[in-house]
Amino acid sequence: MKKLALVFTLCISFIGLGFAQDLTITAEDLRLESVYAEGGKNVIGYNLFIRKKPDINSVMLTETTQDEIGEVTNYAYRARSWNPVNGDEIRMLDGKPLTSEYGKYSIIDSTPEADTKFGEAFCLFIPLEMEYGYPWSRHEIVEVQEGTYINIRSFGALYGDYAEGFKDNPFQIALAPKPPVKKDIPEEVASKVARDFNQKAVSNFYTLAEETDGLFVVSEGSSSVTDDIISVVNELDPSKTAKIVFAIDTTGSMKDDMTALQEKLVPALREATKDFIFLEVGLLLYRDYVDDYEYDGLPIKINPFTEDLDVFEDELMQVSIVGNEGGDTPEAVYEAIYGALEYYDWGQVEQKRIILAGDAEPHEEPWGDKKITRDMVVETAVAGDVHVDAIIIPTKR
């Protein structure tokens, strides 16, 4: 296994989510180094060094997506082209090499080498873009950036064979320096999200708010999310009729934020809206296509408009988020906005708002039968005079 040339060490940190077992990998067992193209200017990926331990004989990178009932497999990541680090590594299943088109270029290593820090280490080359899945099933291209979640699957056997057991070790990557925020975001906003945020999510949330004449709010996470929502509500005119749909990401990475909302949102909402002449609120929950929500073919859960905040509170308190994974792959953000626009009776009220709160970006390519895109939801929102207020939640908390 050859190492790519022109490697410079980044200051990086990992947030480990694993459990102590023989195949356990901890943050202290990892080192990430950026890899540059010839000339030393452009980063083309990262070498992830993993300490060789007695019981670990191979390691492989997979996505961290999990479904709560165990019917959906999390797939192995693969590079989109050959590389000299892992491009020729063997991967086996049930004792047989995987040789299909979709078995090539798995990010896997069974040949540890001498390492100055770890003594001996595996090396996984992580390109700037990875992919997983199949065209006929789940398939996604993932951009490696601040807040990306990865899973290091460690094996007792060589070549990623499951014959001698395996263990999943999920981590979240924090890179320094941070990737630049897209240029269409104003500098005063970009400076707030230079750290700890999924940059593609920032750009998409900002654009949704900007194109629908809504507000864009940078949250600090569970400590501020209730105040962030109330700051948007406070922009409404109590003397005019209003309807609000709260569209909230309920994947695993949002667990702490949901707990905070369950504790604080409704009391704060009562106080903020006590002088409104008319207000209805609706709660829309969203995840992704592999999860357990389903409404008209979309991964969303609809709770209709109500004037009764007790009903709204009951709906909010019933939300349960299991696990801590999430944030590594896109979520059904556009589907959530579509659902809020299409499945709620907005009527003729004077103020129509969708308050979106989440930490992951939408799918770049439309999924499902409806093929919902940003242009589709923006055009529908503008035509209906519905404003999307987007609250971006940090991925590293």
Look up the CATH number of the domain holding residue 271: 3.40.50
Each of the 397 residues of the chain gets a pLDDT tens digit; together they read 444 433 444 444 444 444 445 799 999 999 888 887 765 557 888 999 999 999 999 999 998 865 444 455 678 999 999 999 998 999 988 888 888 877 789 999 999 999 878 999 999 999 999 998 887 777 888 888 877 889 999 999 999 999 999 999 998 876 654 443 444 677 777 777 767 888 889 999 999 999 999 999 999 999 999 999 999 999 999 999 999 999 999 988 899 999 999 999 999 999 999 999 999 999 999 998 877 899 999 999 999 999 999 999 999 999 988 755 455 578 999 999 999 999 999 999 999 999 999 999 998 888 878 888 898 899 899 988 999 999 999 986 5
Note whether 69 and 153 are same-domain residues: yes
Total structural domains in the chain?
Answer: 2
Note whether 169 and 221 are same-domain residues: no
Question: Which pLDDT score, from 0 to 100, does residue 93 have?
Answer: 86
Final residue of a domain: which of 122, 152, 174? 174
34-42 long-range Cβ contacts below 8 angstroms, 24+ apart: 34/7, 34/8, 34/9, 34/10, 35/4, 35/6, 35/7, 35/125, 36/6, 36/7, 36/8, 37/6, 38/5, 38/6, 40/6
Note whether 162 and 220 are same-domain residues: no
Note whether 238 and 137 are same-domain residues: no
Note whether 300 and 366 are same-domain residues: yes
Final residue of a domain: which of 140, 174, 208? 174
Whether 205 maps to a domain, the answer reads: yes
What type of residue sits at position 173?
I
Question: Which pLDDT score, from 0 to 100, does residue 65 have?
Answer: 62
Final residue of a domain: which of 174, 208, 230? 174
| Domain coverage including residue 163 | 7-174
Whether 70 maps to a domain, the answer reads: yes
Whether 157 maps to a domain, the answer reads: yes
Whether 2 maps to a domain, the answer reads: no
Note whether 72 and 45 are same-domain residues: yes
Note whether 117 and 243 are same-domain residues: no
What type of residue sits at position 25?
I
DSSP H stretches of helix in the chain: 187-190, 199-211, 225-233, 255-272, 309-317, 333-342, 374-383
Note whether 243 and 133 are same-domain residues: no
Whether 179 maps to a domain, the answer reads: no
CB 49 within 8 A of CB 118: yes
Note whether 281 and 388 are same-domain residues: yes
Whether 165 maps to a domain, the answer reads: yes
Question: 103 in helix, strand or coil?
Answer: helix
Question: Which pLDDT score, from 0 to 100, does residue 274 have?
Answer: 96
Question: Which pLDDT score, from 0 to 100, does residue 41 have?
Answer: 59
Note whether 138 and 273 are same-domain residues: no
205-230 as b/e: b if 16+ CB within 10 A: bbbbbbbbebbbbbbebbebbbebbb
- CA 326/CA 149 separation, integer angstroms: 7
Question: 89 in helix, strand or coil?
Answer: coil
Note whether 140 and 193 are same-domain residues: no
Whether 373 maps to a domain, the answer reads: yes
Note whether 97 and 134 are same-domain residues: yes
Tokens of 161: 């064979």
